[in-house]
Amino acid sequence: MTGAKNNQLLSLENLMNSAVRFVINDVDLRGTKRNAVLAPNLFDDIYDYTLPSDCKAIIDVIPQVEREETTEWDLMSEEEFDRKKTRLDNLLSITDDELVRRLRISRRVDDKATVLGQMESLNGDGDTWVGFASTGDTNSQSVTDSDVKKDGDNYIKGNAAIRFGDNGDTTATQVGLENAGITAVDLSEYLAGGSVFVRGRLTTGDTDILSLTVRLGSDSSNYYQVSDSTTNEDLAFQTGWNLVRLDMSGKTTVGSPADTAIDYVAAYWTKSVNTHLTDTDFAFDHIQISKGVIHSLLYYSRFAWQTTSTAAYKENSTAATDTLSLLNDEVELVITKAWELASIELKNYKDIREARIMYKDLRGAYIINHPSEAKILLQFPYELGTVVGSRDFRSTSDSSDT
């Protein structure tokens, strides 16, 4: 580890980490392929999903059963995906907004879903939407019923949402809506593996907004309750609209709700006491419960190191006992790149040239023998052909169209 001028490497660990990061960025290594269950399940009309934090590139989205021949995925930019998501199937996109990565998917699946509240008007879902008041807690209601209004300007689905404001009660910690007389629905098949989706709007999203809770039951004394403190994409709540998923697998039961005749719905934010007292732009839109279809995400990971004790993957080695989980020919790529980086640091110019030539040869042979399976970003700025219906496939023009 001594250079031509008798200088030494500053850190072997940093050198090896740099070499690993360089090779992983340069080549899609089969030793870094991972298969993770998609979170959540794949749903119709739900486009945002959690992207594993170590994902470098997507290879495939795989259904657990009944793989169809037509499931060939197209990876698109965020802008193009947003334009085409309601019309075309089998679209993927990775977003990088404010250094937060999300996976977006558009695909029609055989998804069972029941709408609990369209929230197009105050009394359009069976009974009237009013300010939420928790049974037995006189300080819970922080919404005055007269402030509950239809919002036809800022909504997500349909043509309106239901908006409300905080009434300024300094002791209240819950702010939301309830409807004690929706059209009764049977939720029996959703209780084990279903998920409730709520579109919730915040005047200001910050750490004082603690969670979103939904109650589904026979009345305000007999219900199932589910809560979550993050969005569907596992992100913090933000100002404006948030899509929140609440999984029924984590439900608690109060009283004895009638599974086959659920006609009570409540949705509310829990906040820190004496906060958000002047917020007037809370809203909910389109509450539904769905089952979804189980899929797996196959991808290339950025993490090649593993801890010896727990076998957990990580991006950089931080201990001498960490192991490099790559195949032999991939390890040779890393060692050769480490030789080049060490030679640069030690000013061994002859070794720099030799290491670069060797790495180039090894890289070329590897890519030929193991070509990348990663999805390539496609761009179709113009569509030729005819799109029929709301979600049809691309069509091809024949000679008579020219």
pLDDT tens track for 234-269:
889 999 999 999 999 999 999 999 999 999 999 999
pLDDT in tens, 179-214: 999 999 999 999 988 999 999 999 999 999 999 999
DSSP string, 91-137: EEEEEEETTEEEEEEE------EEEEE--SSTTSBSB--EE---TT-
- Are both 85 and 131 inside the same structural domain? no
- Are both 284 and 349 inside the same structural domain? no
Q: Which of 290, 314, 337 is the last residue of a domain?
A: 290
pLDDT of residue 390: 44
- Are both 278 and 343 inside the same structural domain? no
Question: Is residue 327 in a domain?
Answer: yes
- Decide: 300 and 94 in contact? Cβ < 8 Å: no
- Are both 162 and 238 inside the same structural domain? yes
- Are both 361 and 258 inside the same structural domain? no
- Decide: 216 and 196 in contact? Cβ < 8 Å: yes
Decide which of 364 and 45 is more confident.
Answer: 364
Return d(Cα 387, Cα 272) in angstroms, integer: 49
Question: Is residue 316 in a domain?
Answer: no
Question: Is residue 307 in a domain?
Answer: no
How sure is the predictor about 351, in pLDDT bands with cuts at 50, 70 and 90? very high
**CATH label of the domain that carries residue 260:** 2.60.120.260
pLDDT of residue 193: 83
Number of structural domains in the chain: 3
| pLDDT, the chain, mean | 88
Structural domain of 102: 33-110+294-301
How sure is the predictor about 134, in pLDDT bands with cuts at 50, 70 and 90? low
Decide which of 354 and 168 is more confident.
Answer: 354
Burial of 126 (0-12, 13-18, 19+ CB in 10 A): middle
Question: Is residue 203 in a domain?
Answer: yes
Return d(Cα 240, Cα 205) in angstroms, integer: 7
DSSP state of 81: H
Question: Is residue 216 in a domain?
Answer: yes
Question: Is residue 153 in a domain?
Answer: yes
Return d(Cα 148, Cα 240) in angstroms, integer: 18
Question: Is residue 183 in a domain?
Answer: yes
List the helix and strand counts (H, then E) for the chain.
4, 22
- Are both 98 and 158 inside the same structural domain? no
pLDDT of residue 395: 40
User: Stretch 47-72: mean pLDDT, rounded?
Assistant: 87
Q: Is the pLDDT score of 138 beyond 70? A: no
Q: Which of 243, 265, 290 is the last residue of a domain?
A: 290
- Decide: 58 and 92 in contact? Cβ < 8 Å: yes
- Are both 136 and 99 inside the same structural domain? no
pTM of the model: 0.75
User: Stretch 324-347: mean pLDDT, rounded?
Assistant: 95
How sure is the predictor about 135, in pLDDT bands with cuts at 50, 70 and 90? low
Question: Is residue 279 in a domain?
Answer: yes
- Are both 136 and 101 inside the same structural domain? no
- Are both 120 and 183 inside the same structural domain? yes
Q: Reading across the β-sheet that carries 252-254, which strands appear in turn? A: 130-131, 174-179, 264-271, 209-219, 222-228, 252-254
Max distance between CA atoms of the chain, in angstroms, equals 84
The DSSP bridge pattern shows strands 91-97 and 74-75 to be parallel
Q: Which of 290, 314, 342 is the last residue of a domain?
A: 290
DSSP string, 253-287: EES---TT-B-EEEEEEEE-TT-STT---EEEEEE
Quick one: what percent of the chain has pLDDT higher than 70? 90
Cis, bond preceding 257 (omega within 30 deg of 0): no
Burial of 103 (0-12, 13-18, 19+ CB in 10 A): buried
pLDDT of residue 388: 46
- Are both 37 and 25 inside the same structural domain? no
Q: Is the pLDDT score of 295 beyond 80? A: yes
Residue type at 162 in one-letter notation: I
Return d(Cα 17, Cα 338) in angstroms, integer: 9
- Are both 103 and 177 inside the same structural domain? no
- Are both 156 and 268 inside the same structural domain? yes
**Helical (H) or strand (E) element with 361:** helix 349-369
